[in-house]
Structure 1
Amino acid sequence: MYLTFFGFREKPFNLTPDPKFLYLNASYREALASLRFGINERKGFVSLIGEAGTGKTTLLRRLLAELGPDVRSVLVLNPAVGFDELLAFILTDLGHVPAPGTRKLQMLEILNAELLDTLARGGNVVVLIDEAQDLAIPVLEELRLLSNLETAKEKILQFVLAGQPELDDMLAKPELRQLRQRIAVPARLRPLARGEVAAYVAARIAAAGSDARGLFTASALRQLYGFSRGVPRLVNVACDSALVNAYAAGTRLVDGKIMRATIKDLRRGAYRRSPAAVWRMRFATVAIAVVVGAVMGIAASRLAGGSRERSTAAAPTPSAALQLSRAERTRAEGESRVAVAVPSSEPEVIAAAGATPPPEAATPSAFRGGADGAGPSAAEVPAAAVGAAFQPSGGAASAAATPSRAPVAAEEPVAAAAPPVAAVADGNASTVVAPSPARPRRTPRTKPMARAARPRRSPTRDLDVDTDVRSGVSSGDAGEVESGVTDEHHVVIQEGDTLTGIARRKYGHSNAELLRAIQRANADSVADRNRLMPGETLVLPPDPSLPEPMPAATPDVRGTP
């Protein structure tokens, strides 16, 4: 109908297995070479597996055309018969028509004689069975027994079993394992690749006597592959229908629009997708959606978990927040009541607060001498004041400390007009106040000969007892000093108290020597330091790690001329 319109000598896309139109790509050339090798080398059984429409029959006819005159062939196109009928068909094709009613044994003897005669003349006999997946299992087993017609050196009858993938499934069955072991050369046909569809169409059109250039557009070829998936029979069907539609439209170009309409018509008819294929596609779509959703859910949960961990790490716990709050509150109260001076290179001098000192008294420079030129040096602070500051409790008022000048190095210059350090007794706490004098000229500082002793402290501190490092007075002691509930030498054991906790709360530190001193002072009530009885009263001895207080001396009130 469209031959003259497109300039074809014959139809390029007929469904007949014409070897003239066979397109030999790598897969087809390899399969054809395997078949020739199996026949010429007398391998016995050769298999050719391929999907429906991949060109198995066309390849078999191409093989028959290439066989030499010394090879006698029998092509079986309908194997859905019994073995006796198949045997009679083979004999008929070889020129020996069996008489009606001939028994199977007689036909086998005739076939064996014919095969031996052909071998004697240097020939070969091959039986090609197309659609071999339709053979019954008993027939396949009879064919295996038939291949036993052989000599001691070579096979005298060759078989080519060509079929769809179901043939592979049949041969994998246990009852056919002996036949499968005899298949010496397996060959396989695969569908065309995406890039091979255009070459296949061009080869068919060239074999029909025309030129394929400009006949099918790239869009039409892409849609053609999407419909056929590389199966040559489906390519032939779609191309033939597209040429008819283009002829009806009066155009010599098959574009994407014409191919799309052609495929749509084919899907409505015999080439529509089977329900099984539709359900497989739907199931695959749902499975992909589930996998993608699961992956996204896992990723989101991991991101959320990481955010929660970061927020938990950044936010303080309630107990930590409470400890920080107590520490800040105690520090603020201590700063309002305590004047502390701890120079970087001088011994610590700590004074319990009773009255608010001048601003200069709270700075390290108030206790420096020589280098800073303001006030007496650290060596000039009375040792009695230092000892009183580290007593177990600040609840009782200490006696008025009379400062005295400590010996200094001979070469150390004396600060001019430096007022003395005064100790004032106020209530139940003593305060060391260093008035701020006029700052004289800076002079080189020398190392004092005598230093106030630094109290030893525990390397670790209990967070539950917030001790002010600068004043040496714990937050627990501050409440007791203000209320006056407990004196400086006794403490009542509360529920949950430990000897270490009481030492830290009352002395500001805890060590083995101090704990032994407390246990010795309370030998009757503290037999085991790890077991304290609530309600018992403990006697607090002096801190053995502190030096003995020096006797009070008369202050030097003379001014420097």
Structure 2
Amino acid sequence: MYQQHFRLNETPFSLTPNTGFFFGLTPHLEALQVLQTALQTGEGFTKVTGEVGTGKTLICRKLINELPSDFHCAYLPNPYLTPQELRWAVAMELGLEYSKDIDQQQLIGLIQKQLMGLAAKGFSVVLVVDEAQAMSDDSLEALRLFTNLETESRKLLQVVLFGQHELDERLKEQKFRQLRQRITFSYNLRPLDRDEIQGYIQHRLMVAGYEGPTLFGAKEVKIITKASRGIPRLINVLCHKAMLLSYGEGCSIVKVAHIRAAIKDTEDTVVAPRRWFWIGSLGVLSLALSVGMTLVGFN
């Protein structure tokens, strides 16, 4: 909606994890380095955890897109599955053809045979599980048992878990001690600091084609940093709404008032104490859009 106003090729702050907007932020690069090192060692489980919105799915997609050609990837974006459903899903990701009439033991045998066949062809197989905190206890145990499949010299399957901090808490329980001991590498994604946020915002605008004056100044970024707690998803939401408000006023940059209004209109942000507020109602975006359409001749 504001793309033409700011002369953009695409929306810079979409919530969809688009690897085309990937920026080499320190926590994200460190996470990828840990994952790449873990996969090269060929052992057990690797775990990446972080707060909601810190970029786990983006890193997950980046990892999958950049896997070497000698890796075969099985990807489970929604692991809210029973152990039986988990095995069927893994079999499908491995390209197995099978009859629905076979029992679970037969299915496990077919999975092992397929893994051995891929290994004989020189492939390393990695199972990537996103939103792993959603897995049931029984499914986590079924996942652990998959890593028992091995030859005398190597694991037939490596597992990478991406999850929220709830996954860490669950794995501390005594019943998960066997799985916990198989996690050879782990990384916890931290929030971004102010300098990283400044670079992150500028990078996304540049990728989207922005070539104008600085759109988000130092003062605006400072407010975004505090309100978002350094969480990329919230940064995207606030920047998107602030740009809508700026567009609605016909401004060429984003102002503090636009940021404060976006914060007021967004769930889960930290609202800083202040003496005044620009509009102070949940309808700020509706007003901005109404004004913006008037400016471009819709009314």
Q: TM-score, normalised by structure 2?
A: 0.87
Distance in 1, matches of 2:138 and 2:179, equals 11
Distance in 2, matches of 1:73 and 1:213, equals 43
Deviation at 1:66, TM superposition (A): 0.7
Deviations 1:172-196 (A, max 9, x none): 1100001100000112211101221
Deviations 1:505-526 (A, max 9, x none): xxxxxxxxxxxxxxxxxxxxxx
The answer to whether residue 136 in structure 2 is matched with residue 136 in structure 1 is yes
What's the counterpart of residue 373 of structure 1? none
Distance in 1, matches of 2:125 and 2:157, equals 5
What's the counterpart of residue 157 of structure 1? 157
What's the counterpart of residue 59 of structure 1? 59
What's the counterpart of residue 169 of structure 1? 169
The answer to whether residue 185 in structure 2 is matched with residue 185 in structure 1 is yes
Q: Which moved more, 1:216-225 or 1:161-170?
A: 216-225
**Conserved in 2, the CA contact under 8 Å of 1:3 and 1:11?**
yes
Distance in 2, matches of 1:260 and 1:32, equals 34
**Conserved in 2, the CA contact under 8 Å of 1:34 and 1:187?**
yes
Distance in 1, matches of 2:35 and 2:25, equals 16
What's the counterpart of residue 523 of structure 1? none
Distance in 2, matches of 1:177 and 1:218, equals 47
What's the counterpart of residue 244 of structure 2? 244
Q: Secondary structure at the match of 1:53?
A: coil
What's the counterpart of residue 21 of structure 2? 21
Deviations 1:133-186 (A, max 9, x none): 111112111111111100111111010011011111111110000110000011
What's the counterpart of residue 126 of structure 2? 126
**Conserved in 1, the CA contact under 8 Å of 2:43 and 2:158?**
yes
**Conserved in 2, the CA contact under 8 Å of 1:206 and 1:212?**
no
One-letter code aligned to 1:217: G
Deviation at 1:272, TM superposition (A): 6.2
Q: Secondary structure at the match of 2:23?
A: coil
Deviations 1:331-367 (A, max 9, x none): xxxxxxxxxxxxxxxxxxxxxxxxxxxxxxxxxxxxx
Distance in 1, matches of 2:26 and 2:32, equals 10
Larger radius of gyration: 1
Unmatched segments (≥5 aa) in structure 1 = 274-561
Deviations 1:373-432 (A, max 9, x none): xxxxxxxxxxxxxxxxxxxxxxxxxxxxxxxxxxxxxxxxxxxxxxxxxxxxxxxxxxxx
What's the counterpart of residue 50 of structure 2? 50
One-letter code aligned to 2:242: A
Distance in 1, matches of 2:147 and 2:113, equals 14
CA-based RMSD? 1.5
After TM superposition, which residue ranges in structure 1, 4 or more long, deviate above 4 angstroms?
none
**Conserved in 2, the CA contact under 8 Å of 1:238 and 1:263?**
yes
Within 5 Å, give how 1:180-329 maps onto structure 2: 180-211=180-211, 213-266=213-266, 270-271=267-268
Q: Secondary structure at the match of 1:127?
A: strand
Deviation at 1:98, TM superposition (A): 3.3
**Conserved in 1, the CA contact under 8 Å of 2:45 and 2:185?**
yes
Within 5 Å, give how 1:81-100 maps onto structure 2: 81-100=81-100
**Conserved in 2, the CA contact under 8 Å of 1:79 and 1:130?**
yes
**Conserved in 2, the CA contact under 8 Å of 1:202 and 1:211?**
no
Deviation at 1:257, TM superposition (A): 1.4
Percent identity (aligned): 38
What's the counterpart of residue 277 of structure 2? none
Deviation at 1:67, TM superposition (A): 0.5
Within 5 Å, give how 1:64-83 maps onto structure 2: 64-83=64-83
What's the counterpart of residue 11 of structure 2? 11
Q: Secondary structure at the match of 2:57?
A: helix
One-letter code aligned to 1:184: T
Within 5 Å, give how 1:395-434 maps onto structure 2: none
The structure with the largest helix share of the pair is 2
Deviations 1:78-114 (A, max 9, x none): 1111011111111112211432232111110111111
Deviation at 1:212, TM superposition (A): 6.6
One-letter code aligned to 1:12: P
Deviation at 1:218, TM superposition (A): 2.0
What's the counterpart of residue 112 of structure 2? 112
Distance in 2, matches of 1:190 and 1:272, equals 17
